[in-house]
Amino acid sequence: MNTIVLSEQFSLVNSWINELRNVEIQHDRMRFRRNMERIGEIAAFEISKTLEQKEIEIQTPLDTIKVKEIAVQPVITTILRAGVPLFEGILNYLDKADCGFVAAYRKHDANDYFSIKQDYLTCPNIEDRPLIVADPMLATGASLIEAIKDLLTHGKPTELHIVAAIASRQGVETIEKAYPDAKIWVGAIDESLTSKGYITPGLGDAGDLSYGEKLQR
Ligand SMILES: O=P(O)(O)OC[C@H]1O[C@H](OP(=O)(O)OP(=O)(O)O)[C@H](O)[C@@H]1O
Ligand SMILES: O=c1cc[nH]c(=O)[nH]1
Decide whether any atom of ligand 2 lies within 6 Å of the 206 Cβ: yes
Instruction: Write out the E strands in the chain.
Output: 3-5, 53-59, 64-70, 75-80, 98-108, 114-122, 130-134, 137-138, 159-168, 183-190, 192-193, 199-200
Name the residue of 199, 213, 216 to mutate for ligand 2: max ligand atoms within 8 A of Cβ: 199
Measure the CA–CA gap between 187 and 69, rounded to whole angstroms.
27
Can you list the domains of the chain with their CATH numbers? 3-50+70-211 (3.40.50.2020)
Q: Is the pLDDT of residue 173 over 80?
A: yes
Q: Which of 32-41, 55-64, 99-108 has the lowest mean pLDDT?
A: 99-108
| SS3 of residue 216 by DSSP | coil
Q: Whose CA is nearest to atom 7 of ligand 2?
A: 205
ipTM confidence: 0.96
Q: Whose CA is nearest to atom 9 of ligand 1?
A: 137
Q: Is the pLDDT of residue 216 over 80?
A: no
Beta strand pairing status for 114-122 and 75-80? Answer: unpaired
For ligand 1, the distance from its centroid to the CA atom of residue 142, given in whole angstroms, is 9
Measure the CA–CA gap between 53 and 211, rounded to whole angstroms.
37
| For the CA of 137, the nearest atom of ligand 1 | 19
Measure the CA–CA gap between 114 and 95, rounded to whole angstroms.
36
For ligand 1, the distance from its centroid to the CA atom of residue 106, given in whole angstroms, is 7
For ligand 1, the distance from its centroid to the CA atom of residue 120, given in whole angstroms, is 15
pLDDT given for residue 162 in this prediction: 98
Write the CA distances from 197 to 33, 82, 193, integer angstroms. 22, 16, 5
Measure the CA–CA gap between 134 and 90, rounded to whole angstroms.
8
Decide whether any atom of ligand 1 lies within 6 Å of the 134 Cβ: no
For the chain, the first-to-last Cα distance in angstroms comes to: 39
pLDDT bracket for residue 73 (50, 70, 90): very high
**Over residues 8-15, mean pLDDT:** 98
| For the CA of 80, the nearest atom of ligand 1 | 17
pTM of the predicted model as reported, rounded to 2 decimal places = 0.96
Q: Nearest 5°: phi and psi at 211?
A: -135, 0
Name the residue of 78, 106, 150, 170 to mutate for ligand 1: max ligand atoms within 8 A of Cβ: 106
pLDDT given for residue 107 in this prediction: 80
Residue 136: name the closest of 115, 169, 167, 171 by CA: 167
**Over residues 170-178, mean pLDDT:** 97
Decide whether any atom of ligand 2 lies within 6 Å of the 144 Cβ: no
